[in-house]
Amino acid sequence: MLKNIHSNRIYQIILISTVLGFITPIISLFSKLKSRTNWLNEIKEFIDNEQIISILNYISLIVPSWHYENSGLAAFHYYIKWSIYNLLILTLIILCRKKLLIIISRIKNLYKNNTIILSAIILCIFVFNSKVFLGFYFSGIPGWDYSNNRGFGSSSWGERQYISKQYIKKDKLIVDQKLQNLLLKGVNLQNAKNILTNTSIRGVVIVAHTVDAQYCINDGISGIVFPHRYVENNNKGPWLDIINYRLNKQKKYNTIWKKLRYPDHTVYMDIDEGIYNERENLIKIEYWDVEVTEIEDNIHITDAKLIYLHD
Amino acid sequence: MIKIFRHDEKDYPLHFWATQFITYIYLLYRLISRDYSVYGLINSDYFDYPRFITNLYPPKLTLELINFHWIYNILDYPTSDTIVIIQYILIIFSLLGLLGVFNKYTPIVCFFGYLHLTGFVQAATSEIDGGTVCILALFVLMVSNKKAFYTLFNQNKWLTTIDNRWPIVLLMLLIGSYYLFAGLNKIIDVHPLWPFTLHLDNLAIVMEERSIFVSSRYAEVTLAPLFKSEFISIFAGTITLISELGMGTLIFLPRYRVFFVINMIIMHIFVYYSTGINFLGSSLILILCVDWNCLVRKVRCYYDHDCGFCVKSVNKIKKYDIFNRVNFIPMQSLDQGKYGFKIEQLKNEMGLLEENGQILYGAYAFESIFEKIPIFYIIALIYKFPLVSYFADKIYKLVAKNRHLISRSGCKI
């Protein structure tokens, strides 16, 4: 079929992909916002105009919705920029139709004997412009930078909300010694000493309990890619079962294979190997929001708050 | 400089066989290392495609049709045990693929099977799990002619055919465009001057903070000071962006292919150690994006037999050409215009005839010779870095001009 495809038809495919790439991000944005209960309030934070808000509200009524409550919403600028990019490309495609047809014709002639490669080229352009996700192929990893990511309040577990560094010297310990000793197992003391100088940092310590032992772990045990996305949205989900299931499997790995196996896509810090020798299953997992402070060359937990409990 | 890597030329099977071997061994390694069965424990309500890339279009109308997750509209989501069985079946098929058995069906099963497994990741938490290029390589194997595969029982012969060549062009096109898109996204999503807003110095702070908590994603804190330099941030950003955009040129800018691929591999290593995101295995498929067959193609090299320096150099090179890839022939035996050579130019520069009829002179001829002789591979690799061939050409011309001064044996010219 593609062997005799006319350049005009290829041009039309590119045109359609560009139109899709222009329209879909906007529709998707509306669809996604609609699925969120507070979407109007979220919009109001950005647009302070009642008329525009009411127009947007009206549009949202006629836009179909295919998103779930938990559907990730990228920053608005992604959707806007994708649309603007495609609008520019659309303008170029229409204005430079003749030149584009010549290029298409040359490429078509070059690959006229191999429709698979010609199809792949058309697929590449279609996927990139339309931003359609085909599973085995998509429009590439999105771009980002670290310009607004100044470290404090932006890293570690849960990516954003759980770490914050404070330049306040603490000299009073409000966490009792037993809990302190337990939570300190979830802190790399050497790195903390090197990095914190008379300062505090907030982060998360995850404590896994068996009947008579405790271990500081991380979500990496689950083997799920970006597990915090799951935990954050499902703090009452079967997390304990997932961790126990994976732990029991990993306990069977021998030491050499543990080192040789291909690491998971999201790699986490090393945890206490003792947990792999534990015979008992975990009975609960606690997520503690802690404040780690360096006081006179020693590291202390100066504040601790239980944020999630899976039992 | 621009030279289309043509899909319709006959080529040796080395590159395609390497693609077959590396793709299956990488798939096998992934499958025996990773455990997808954990997704069988997740509530099916949670398979809601949370990432914005996967749900820009309704996933049920796009993604699920391709990865066969539409069947879960009819059937229940699989249990962990069922996913384990799927994974074991894929392990068996990737082993069969590795051995070259059932070459017609193995890539189809592996492609759709692995796409199906990845579908659970996409439905639950992430658009990818670092295996996209592996799936693309499987796609290439799936659409390739089965006669091109190496086989266990009926050994395919070492023949030059078009079927060895076009799948490699397809692989370069798909992998190259995938990385090109990432580069374009940086420009569209962030800024055309992305390297200047990258700010790895901020990432360095994140790395240090992460290194304090066991709960964090991996970060190699010893690398943090390196990233704190603004110059390094801009330099790394520039190289990354140029290389990602350059990956789109794999099929028509052969000179920089190796450079771009090496940069992408370095980028994957840094991403692993700085953000705890593992794309390291993609490096294996990236290596397939350079022209492996240049190692086995034979060439004819025409040199000036009246020049003592040239004869001496040729004799030295001949000693290391253990696979007899280079056939050295005195230019004096060549008639004017034969194969397209210019005799006058041959008197000043060594000439080389590639198997596909391409003619190279001087430093570029040497580059091709270095690609054929193992002991010189490293020099051939250095040649691929920007500007190296330019300076090599200058040096060659300088040496060629003064060869009668260099040579003790003397040069008759």
**Is the CB of A72 less than 8 angstroms away from the CB of B170?**
no
- If one counts every other C-beta atom within 10 angstroms of the C-beta of residue B371, the result is 23
Instruction: Give yes or no for residue A189 having a pLDDT over 80.
Output: yes
The average pLDDT across A11-28 equals 94
**Considering only CA atoms, which of A221, A241, A219 is closest in space to residue A232?**
A219
**Is the CB of B214 less than 8 angstroms away from the CB of A263?**
no
Residue A54, Cβ density class (10 Å: 0-12 exposed, 13-18 middle, ≥19 buried): exposed
B168 inside 8 A of chain A by CB: no
Instruction: Give yes or no for residue B180 having a pLDDT over 70.
Output: yes
β-strands B299-303, B326-330: how paired? parallel
The average pLDDT across B152-174 equals 88
Q: Which of residues 88-127 of A touch B (CB under 8 A)?
A: 110-111, 113-114, 116-117, 120-121, 124
Q: Which of residues 188-247 of A touch B (CB under 8 A)?
A: 188, 191-192, 194-196, 201, 203-206, 216-220, 222-227, 229-230, 233-234, 237-238, 241-242, 245-246
- What's chain A's average pLDDT? 84
Residue A283, Cβ density class (10 Å: 0-12 exposed, 13-18 middle, ≥19 buried): middle
List the structure tokens of B121.
């990741």
The average pLDDT across B292-301 equals 93
pLDDT digits (tens, 9 = 90+) for A246-283: 999 999 888 899 889 999 999 999 998 889 988 889 99
* Min Cα–Cα distance to chain A from B195, Å: 9
Query: Residue A282 in contact with residue A209, Cβ under 8 Å?
Result: yes
What is the predicted pLDDT for the residue at A73?
A: 62
* Dmax (CA) of chain B: 85
**Is the CB of B56 less than 8 angstroms away from the CB of A131?**
yes
Tell me how far CA of residue B350 lies from CA of A179, B87, B155, B254, B359, in angstroms.
78, 55, 39, 21, 11
**Mutation site, B7, B23, B52, interface A, largest A CB count within 10 A:** B52
What is the ipTM for the molecules in this complex? 0.91
What is the predicted pLDDT for the residue at A160?
A: 35
What is the predicted pLDDT for the residue at B309?
A: 85
pTM over 0.95: no
Instruction: Give yes or no for residue B156 having a pLDDT over 70.
Output: no
**Mutation site, A225, A236, A248, A300, interface B, largest B CB count within 10 A:** A225
CA distance B249 to B152: 35
Crossing angle for the helix pair A50-62 and A7-34, to the nearest 10 degrees: 110
**Is the CB of A268 less than 8 angstroms away from the CB of B217?**
yes
Report the SS3 class of residue A176. Answer: coil
B273 inside 8 A of chain A by CB: no
Give the best-scoring range by mean pLDDT among A152-161, A223-232, B84-93: B84-93
pLDDT digits (tens, 9 = 90+) for B195-217: 999 999 999 988 998 999 999 99
**Is the CB of A135 less than 8 angstroms away from the CB of B53?**
no
Size of interface A-B (CB pairs under 8 A): 318
What is the predicted pLDDT for the residue at A150?
A: 55
What is the predicted pLDDT for the residue at A237?
A: 67
pLDDT digits (tens, 9 = 90+) for B316-353: 999 999 999 999 999 888 877 788 888 888 888 899 99
The average pLDDT across A97-113 equals 93
Q: Which chain B positions have a beta carbon within 8 Å of A108's beta carbon?
A: none
Among residues of chain B, what percentage have pLDDT more than 70?
A: 97
What is the predicted pLDDT for the residue at B362?
A: 92
Q: Which chain B positions have a beta carbon within 8 Å of A271's beta carbon?
A: 214
B344 inside 8 A of chain A by CB: no
Task: Give me the residue from B38, B51, B188 closest to A72, CB to CB.
Answer: B51
Chain B's closest residue to A132, CA to CA, is B57
- What's chain B's average pLDDT? 91
pLDDT class for A233, splitting at 50, 70, 90? low
Tell which wins on pLDDT, A151 or B185. B185
**Is the CB of A201 less than 8 angstroms away from the CB of B209?**
yes
Per mean pLDDT, which range of B178-182, B198-202, B246-250, B345-349 is the poorest? B345-349
**Mutation site, A73, A146, A154, A206, interface B, largest B CB count within 10 A:** A146
Rg (CA), chain B: 26
**Considering only CA atoms, which of B285, B263, B267 is closest in space to residue B275?**
B267
Instruction: Give yes or no for residue A200 having a pLDDT over 90.
Output: no
CA distance B383 to B363: 10
pLDDT digits (tens, 9 = 90+) for A59-102: 777 777 777 665 666 677 888 899 999 999 999 999 999 999 99
* Min Cα–Cα distance to chain B from A287, Å: 10
Residues contacting B99, CB < 8 A, separation 6+:
B152
What is the predicted pLDDT for the residue at A71?
A: 60
Instruction: Give yes or no for residue B103 having a pLDDT over 90.
Output: yes
Instruction: Give yes or no for residue A238 having a pLDDT over 70.
Output: yes
Instruction: Give yes or no for residue A151 having a pLDDT over 60.
Output: no
CA distance B370 to B383: 9
What is the predicted pLDDT for the residue at B155?
A: 67
Q: Which of residues 26-45 of B touch A (CB under 8 A)?
A: 29-30, 32-35, 38-39, 41-43
* Min Cα–Cα distance to chain B from A217, Å: 6
Among residues of chain A, what percentage have pLDDT more than 70?
A: 83
pLDDT digits (tens, 9 = 90+) for A36-51: 666 667 677 777 778 8
Tell which wins on pLDDT, A215 or A63. A215
Instruction: Give yes or no for residue A164 having a pLDDT over 60.
Output: no
